A and B are shown apart, each in its own frame.
Chain A
Amino acid sequence: MIGASDGGSVDTLGEGDQVVLTFPARGDLVVLARLVASAISTRVGFDIEELEDLRLAVGELCLLALQGSDDWHGDLRLEFTVSSEALDISCTSGGAALAADGRGAEGDEADQLSEQILAALVDEHGRVQEDGSVRAWLRKRRKGPLE
C-alpha cells in the first residue's frame, strides 16, 4: 500500500499527495518509473487502459528528459502530483544522460516517436530546459471528479 492524504483510504492517493522517485539515469532502471506509474495510476482511480497509457507515457517522459545526451551520469527525478482533476508527472534530468547505446543511431527518430506517443496518450505534455537540466512533464486528466 502507498500512503494516503489525510482522511483518505490507505490504498489511495488523494489531492495534494506527491510521490518522488529518484534513480540513476540507466536504461535498465526506466522500468522503475513504469512500475511506480502503474502503482500510482491504480491508486488515483485510473482504469486499466489509462494505467497502460501512463505506464508507456512515463517511460517516454524519462527518455525525453534525457534527449540530446551522449553520455550517462547523474540521476533522474520523477515527481507524481495528484490533484482533484488530474495526475501531473514531471521528470527532471538534472544534467543526467542516458547510456550511449540506449537510443542508438535511431535517437532522433525515437525522440519524435516519443512526442507522438505522448501527444496521443496524455492531455498535455512539454519539455523545458531549466538551469542546465531538462524537465519533461505531462498531465493526465481524470474522467470524473476525485472521490
Chain B
Amino acid sequence: MYPEEGGALPRFTFGPDGNRSGWANRYCTLPGSAARRPRLKESHNVMEQNFSIEERIDQGVPIIAVIGEIDVATAPQLRERLHGVIAEGRATVVLDLLGVTFLDSTALGVLVGALKRCRELGGELHVVVADARIKKIFEITGLNKVFPLVDALSDVGAP
C-alpha cells in the first residue's frame, strides 16, 4: 500500500539479498551494480520530523516558540497559530526561532503574511533567530531588512 492510498508512511526497506522492496522499490533508483546498492536499516522511517509549537504570554505579549523544521509540510501549522493569535487582537507577537533547524520559502511566506497582519493592526512581528544558517536565509531574500530580527528574547524591545 502506498502512502497516497492511505497506508503507512513510506519506508526504505531492503531485503536480505540487498534488493530494494516495497515503496522504495517503486520510487528510488540508484547507480551502480546491485552489489553496490545501499543497505539501509530495515523499517528506518525517514519521514519523522520533530516539529512543535509552544505558546506563552510574557508581559501581555504572545511568544510563539517553534522547534524543528519549518517547511511546506509544517508551515501551515505555524500559519494557523500565528493567524489565530493575531485574530485575537494581539498586534505584536514574538516569534522564537531559536529551536528551528531548517526554514524554507514557504515558512518565509507565512512570516511575511503574519508581519503584514501585525502591522495592519499597528503592531510588529519580532523574530528571534541566532542560527547562522537560518539568518542566511533571511539575508539572501532581503527579509533581514523587513523583519526586526534579534539574537535573543532579551533583545526584543518593549512593544
A residues with CB within 8 A of B: 1-5, 10, 13, 17-24, 26-32, 34-35, 52, 55-56, 59-60, 63, 75, 98, 101-107, 109-111, 113-114, 116-117, 120-121
- Please state if A30 and B140 are interface contacts (CB–CB under 8 Å): no
What residues of chain A lie closer than 8 Å to B47, measured between beta carbons?
28-29, 31-32
Residues of B within 8 A of A (CB): 2-4, 10, 26-33, 36-38, 46-47, 49, 69, 71-73, 75-76, 79, 102, 104-106, 108-110, 112-113, 133, 137, 140-142
Asked if residues A20 and B29 are in contact (CB atoms below 8 Å), the reply is yes
Among A21, A30, A107, contact of B109 (Cβ-Cβ < 8 Å): A107
The reply to whether A5 and B32 contact each other, CB–CB distance below 8 Å, is yes
Distance in angstroms from A68 CB to nearest chain B CB is 15
Question: Distance in Å from the Cβ of A107 to the closest Cβ of chain B?
Answer: 7
13 example contacts (A-B, Cβ-Cβ < 8 A) are as follows: A17-B31, A20-B28, A21-B27, A21-B29, A22-B27, A24-B2, A30-B73, A31-B46, A31-B73, A105-B113, A106-B113, A120-B141, A121-B140
A101 vs B73: C-alpha distance when bound (angstroms): 9
Contact of A117 among B3, B73, B141 (CB under 8 A): B141
Given contacts A29-B47, A56-B137, contact A116 B73 (CB under 8 A): no
Q: Is the beta-carbon distance between A110 and B105 smaller than 8 angstroms?
A: yes
Residues of A within 8 A of B71 (CB): 27, 30-31, 59
The answer to whether A120 and B109 touch across the interface, beta carbons within 8 angstroms, is no
The smallest beta-carbon distance between B44 and chain A, in angstroms, is 11
Which B residue sits closest to A14, measured CB to CB? B31
In order of increasing CB-CB distance, the 8 nearest A-B pairs are: A3-B32, A106-B109, A110-B109, A3-B36, A120-B140, A113-B105, A28-B73, A27-B72
Q: Which of B76, B106, B133, B140 contacts A116 (CB 8 A)?
A: B140
Contact of B75 among A21, A29, A104 (CB under 8 A): A104
Among B38, B102, B109, point to the contact of A103 (Cβ < 8 A).
B109
Docked CA distance A143–B141 (Å) = 24
Contact B28 A106 (CB under 8 A): no
